[in-house]
């Protein structure tokens, strides 16, 4: 049976569910369909949210779920250098923006499921599990053929993640060579935490040769632990448990934190994840989230860029749906490209700084210059579109 919608979204991850939610919040009468190939809940990495995402969650009316007590609050981020044993702590409340004082640490199995169900509660029709087989542009917009049905939409949002359905089939998906990294990670219980208010803070250690490790605590006794490293260091084999432990033990704080820990499930790996699409929109389609670009997991830019893209894309689609816009997104899409390119450029700036310099030592110098510390704290919080940040005004990032 063929169904017709105003908007069809491919992918039920954070960017796809957020796009659907933004559309329905702004215009509840829209017919929005979302196709997700996997049954939820399912495992995903990328579990540390940024404070700059909080205004978006409020706008899509999802914030009450986040603050319900299901997810632990994150008030800051601590970076260690294993070589010097120095550390730098970014307290988000010091970024100078009242609304960006905290974020949350979220097991993605639960978070993604909650976000998708939220979109559904707003009136999005969810088809799951269901795989997209074909996307064809036609006079009415875009036709989507799945393994179960055909859907017709005036507009298509591709939020299919790294598989990048539209970009892949248009031969426009490109791997980045500058951040050619891989990661090995798992979930652990019994990890020693910070006490009190800072229990939910993320901890990152700068290791050798551009490698780094993380500990992200969840509510309860579980935590996410991982190591990111250059793919060139493992050209012919997968990193094993011994490598994982060796890297974590380079930082005495991590070593002490994990003395009584236990792996739950299995270690997982992901490689060569940095990519982008050469074209982000057409007359009746637009790419959001990892389907459009993914830089690197440091500074947790992935989910934030995806949700920011979702909000911008939804605004443009709503504008294109109004009478008199026969050319769809063609006259509007460049503003989306420019907006996302600016955020990506600034994230890439701080990411490059992390990989190319003695990051902890450089950041510690800002402690004696409060305005500079405040500016960097804003960037670490994800506030990359803030034109009042002096780092952006003076081209530092």
pLDDT at 181 over 60: yes
Summarize the confidence of residues 228-257 as an average pLDDT.
85
pTM above 0.85, yes or no: yes
Structural domain contains residue 329: yes
User: pLDDT grade, residue 227 (50/70/90)?
Assistant: very high
User: pLDDT grade, residue 162 (50/70/90)?
Assistant: confident
User: pLDDT grade, residue 236 (50/70/90)?
Assistant: low
Q: What pLDDT, on the 0 to 100 scale, is given for residue 57?
A: 98
Adjacency order of strands within the sheet including 275-277: 173-175, 275-277, 293-294
Task: Mark whether 170 and 23 lie in a shared domain.
Answer: yes
Q: What is the pLDDT of the chain when averaged over all its residues?
A: 94
Task: Mark whether 39 and 165 lie in a shared domain.
Answer: yes
pLDDT at 2 over 80: no
Structural domain contains residue 190: yes
Q: What is the pLDDT of residues 96-150, one digit of tens each?
A: 998 999 999 999 999 999 999 999 999 999 999 999 999 999 999 999 999 999 9
Structural domain contains residue 94: no
Half-sphere exposure of 307 (CA within 13 A, CB side): 25
CB contact set of 261 (below 8 Å; sequence gap of 6+): 188, 189, 190, 191, 223, 225
User: pLDDT grade, residue 1 (50/70/90)?
Assistant: low
From 270, 289, 305, the end of a domain falls on 270
Domain total in the chain: 2
Q: What pLDDT, on the 0 to 100 scale, is given for residue 235?
A: 60
Task: Mark whether 25 and 163 lie in a shared domain.
Answer: yes
Provide the residue range defining the domain that includes 187: 181-270
Task: Mark whether 121 and 20 lie in a shared domain.
Answer: yes
Q: What is the pLDDT of residues 22-31, one digit of tens each?
A: 999 999 999 9
Task: Mark whether 166 and 36 lie in a shared domain.
Answer: yes
What is the C-alpha to C-alpha distance for residues 70 and 160, in angstroms, rounded to an integer?
27
Helices (H), 34-133: 54-59, 63-66, 108-121
Summarize the confidence of residues 172-187 as an average pLDDT.
82
Cis-peptide, bond into residue 41, ω within 30° of zero: yes
pLDDT at 76 over 90: yes
Task: Mark whether 128 and 257 lie in a shared domain.
Answer: no
């Amino acid at each position: 049976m063929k169904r017709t919608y105003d908007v069809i979204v491919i992918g039920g991850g954070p960017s796809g569910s957020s796009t659907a939610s933004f559309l329905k919040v702004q215009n509840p009468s829209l017919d929005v369909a979302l196709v997700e190939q996997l049954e939820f809940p399912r495992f995903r990495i990328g579990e540390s949210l940024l404070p700059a995402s909080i205004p978006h969650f409020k706008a899509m009316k999802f914030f009450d779920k986040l603050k319900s007590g299901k997810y632990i609050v994150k008030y800051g981020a601590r970076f260690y250098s294993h070589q010097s044993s120095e550390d730098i702590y970014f307290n988000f409340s010091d970024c100078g923006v009242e609304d960006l004082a905290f974020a949350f640490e979220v097991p993605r199995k639960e978070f993604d499921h909650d976000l998708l169900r939220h979109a559904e509660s707003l009136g999005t029709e969810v088809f799951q599990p269901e795989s997209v087989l074909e996307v064809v542009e036609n006079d009415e917009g875009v036709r989507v053929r799945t393994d179960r049905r055909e859907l017709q939409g005036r507009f298509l949002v591709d939020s299919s993640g790294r598989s990048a359905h539209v970009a892949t089939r248009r031969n426009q998906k490109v791997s980045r060579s500058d951040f050619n990294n891989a990661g090995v990670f798992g979930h652990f219980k019994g990890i020693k935490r910070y006490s009190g208010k800072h229990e939910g803070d993320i901890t990152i250690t700068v290791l050798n040769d551009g490698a780094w490790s993380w500990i992200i605590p969840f509510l309860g006794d579980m935590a996410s632990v991982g190591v990111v490293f250059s793919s060139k260091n493992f050209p012919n084999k997968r990193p094993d448990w011994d490598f994982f432990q060796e890297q974590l033990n380079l930082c005495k704080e991590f070593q002490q934190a994990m003395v009584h820990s236990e792996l739950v499930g299995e270690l997982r790996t992901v490689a060569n994840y940095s990519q982008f699409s050469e074209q982000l929109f057409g007359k009746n389609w637009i790419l959001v989230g990892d389907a459009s670009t993914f830089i690197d997991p440091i500074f947790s830019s992935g989910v934030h860029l995806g949700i920011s893209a979702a909000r911008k894309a939804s605004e443009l689609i709503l504008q294109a749906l109004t009478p008199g816009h026969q050319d769809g997104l063609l006259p509007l899409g460049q503003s989306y490209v420019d907006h996302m390119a600016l955020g990506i450029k600034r994230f890439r700036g701080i990411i490059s700084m992390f990989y190319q310099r003695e990051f902890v030592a450089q950041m510690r110098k800002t402690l004696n210059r409060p305005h500079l510390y405040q500016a960097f704290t804003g960037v670490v919080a994800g506030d990359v579109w803030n034109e009042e940040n002096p780092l952006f005004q003076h081209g530092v990032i």
